[in-house]
């Protein structure tokens, strides 16, 4: 198709728009042909098997033949296997663009009318009031302090703790307003929407393109106001605490990917990723999958999730600490989110800088990586700085 313009502007007034967009490229979708919801430790394998079976039974006409064309599903998984709600959704319509080439994919079962719809105006959020979530700030600080105590006692090295915040509107909220606001403010992030979970993540958990796999690991954060001086990136690179936190995250990803790869390239020194509200240490990891039996995107996700960036080290001990000290169900926050095609290729980010929309209510999330020398007050301020992304977009400010 000819250039359709801004992809997010094509989304009709739908309670559950689907999106995976970065800059001018990506995918948006609407309507629903099929879905599966899975729970438990085998949720990735069950979703992968269902999607493979579904895709194999399709008759596909694809004149474009680039990643993202043909049959595509959007997916979002819970952080914990105990949480319900991991989902794979096959949209009726997908519009995509990659490197200047645009296309539309539509299911046409039964020869019914086109599902392409006219677009109604995006509705602003209007007045919002905020309230405590399931883990308010005061209890979050206590959880961080207790995690630090346990790390100093040698029980574990790192745990990524999060808390939540509620926003309530006067009318049902339009997810397109939040999605569009995040995309404008964070064009280098992946703006996603799947089944009411809307966000803009800077962290690419996995990209699979044939036998090639890549990942962008983020851990270690600084924000304006935390430290004096203009060279925030230099201060972040010089921080022993942040460098250690980042190394744990990179090592956990590499350890999980290495058995599935014939070759893996891991940078020795991280780079700086500067965003509107915070800056992170970032490392891009590249691998060549085993050519004899290349793992699909969802199989790779099962192997690597959760990395130490959003879980901790050692993994099992960190997950126990998260469950105990947070005392809340994260849902799909910090879980894999993105898209997969019929060949098992696609992209999955980590659901960060996000919120779950449910009518008039929005549940916002933010978290921090905690290590033995973390300061609880600093971590509380860091989480607040990360919440700025969603709050500004939701309010239409900033």
Residues whose CB is less than 8 angstroms from the CB of residue 107 and which lie 6 or more positions away in sequence, other chains included: 31, 33, 90, 92, 93, 115
Residue 241: both structure tokens together: 């605490």
Please, which residues have CB within 8 angstroms of residue 13's CB and are 6 or more apart in sequence?
Answer: 119, 120, 174, 176
Please report how the helices 240-257 and 297-304 are oriented relative to each other, as an axis angle in degrees rounded to 10: 130
User: Is 203 one of the catalytic residues?
Assistant: yes
- Gap between the Cα atoms of 232 and 241, Å rounded: 15
Ordered alpha helix ranges (H), 113-166: 137-152
Of the candidates 157, 158, 326, 382, the residue annotated as catalytic is 158
37, 39, 42, 44: CA torsion to nearest 10 = 40
Q: Map residue 6 onto helix, strand or coil.
A: coil
Token representation of residue 34: 């099929």
Distance between CA 336 and CA 197 in Å, rounded? 12
157, 203, 347, 379: the catalytic one is 203
Residue 241 appears among annotated catalytic residues:
no
Q: What is the pLDDT along the chain (398 residues), one digit of tens a residue?
A: 999 999 999 999 767 899 999 999 999 999 999 999 999 999 999 999 999 999 999 999 999 999 999 999 999 999 999 999 999 999 999 999 999 999 999 998 655 556 666 788 999 999 999 999 999 999 999 999 999 999 999 999 999 999 999 999 999 999 999 999 999 999 999 999 999 999 999 999 999 999 999 999 888 888 766 555 557 778 888 888 889 888 988 999 999 999 999 999 999 999 998 887 678 899 999 999 999 889 999 999 999 999 988 999 999 999 999 999 999 999 999 999 999 999 999 999 999 999 999 999 999 999 999 999 999 999 999 999 899 989 999 999 86
CB 52 within 8 A of CB 370: no
CATH 1.20.58.1610 assigned to domain 7-395? The reply is no
Q: If DSSP codes are grouped into helix, strand and coil, which group holds residue 321?
A: helix
Does the pTM surpass 0.85? The reply is: yes
Domain limits of the chain?
7-395
């Amino acid at each position: 198709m000819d250039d359709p313009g801004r992809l997010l502007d094509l989304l009709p007034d739908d309670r559950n728009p689907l999106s995976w967009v970065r800059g001018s490229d990506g995918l948006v979708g609407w309507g629903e042909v099929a879905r599966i919801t899975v729970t438990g430790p085998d949720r990735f394998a069950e979703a992968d098997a269902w999607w493979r079976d579904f895709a194999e039974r399709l008759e596909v006409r694809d004149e474009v033949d680039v990643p993202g064309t043909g049959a595509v599903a959007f997916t979002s998984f819970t952080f914990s296997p105990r949480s319900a709600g991991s989902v794979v959704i096959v949209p009726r319509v997908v519009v995509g663009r990659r490197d200047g080439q645009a296309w539309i994919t539509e299911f046409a079962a039964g020869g019914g009318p086109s599902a392409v719809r006219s677009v109604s105006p995006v509705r602003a959020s209007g007045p919002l009031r905020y309230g405590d979530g399931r883990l308010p700030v005061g209890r979050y600080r206590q959880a961080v302090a207790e995690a630090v105590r346990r790390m100093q006692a040698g029980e574990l090295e790192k745990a990524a703790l999060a808390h939540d915040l509620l926003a309530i509107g006067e009318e049902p909220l339009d997810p397109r307003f939040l999605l569009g606001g995040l995309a404008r403010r964070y064009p280098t992030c992946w703006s996603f929407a799947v089944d009411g979970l809307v966000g803009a993540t800077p962290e690419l958990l996995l990209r699979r393109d044939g036998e090639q796999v890549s990942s962008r690991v983020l851990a270690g954060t600084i924000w304006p106001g935390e430290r004096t001086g203009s060279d925030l990136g230099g201060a972040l690179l010089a921080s022993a605490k942040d460098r250690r936190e980042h190394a744990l995250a990179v090592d956990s990803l590499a350890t999980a990917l290495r058995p599935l790869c014939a070759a893996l390239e891991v940078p020795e020194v991280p780079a700086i990723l500067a965003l509107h509200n915070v800056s992170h240490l970032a490392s891009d990891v590249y691998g060549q999958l085993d050519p004899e039996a290349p793992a699909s995107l969802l199989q790779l996700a099962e192997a690597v999730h959760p990395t130490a960036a959003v879980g901790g080290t050692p993994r099992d001990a960190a997950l126990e600490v998260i469950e105990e000290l947070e005392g809340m169900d994260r849902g799909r926050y910090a879980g894999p989110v993105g898209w997969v095609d019929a060949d098992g290729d696609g992209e999955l980010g980590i659901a960060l800088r996000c919120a779950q929309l449910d009518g008039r209510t929005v549940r916002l999330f933010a978290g921090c990586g905690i290590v033995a020398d973390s300061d609880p007050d600093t971590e509380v301020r860091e989480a607040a700085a990360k919440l700025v992304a969603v709050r500004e977009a939701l309010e239409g400010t900033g």
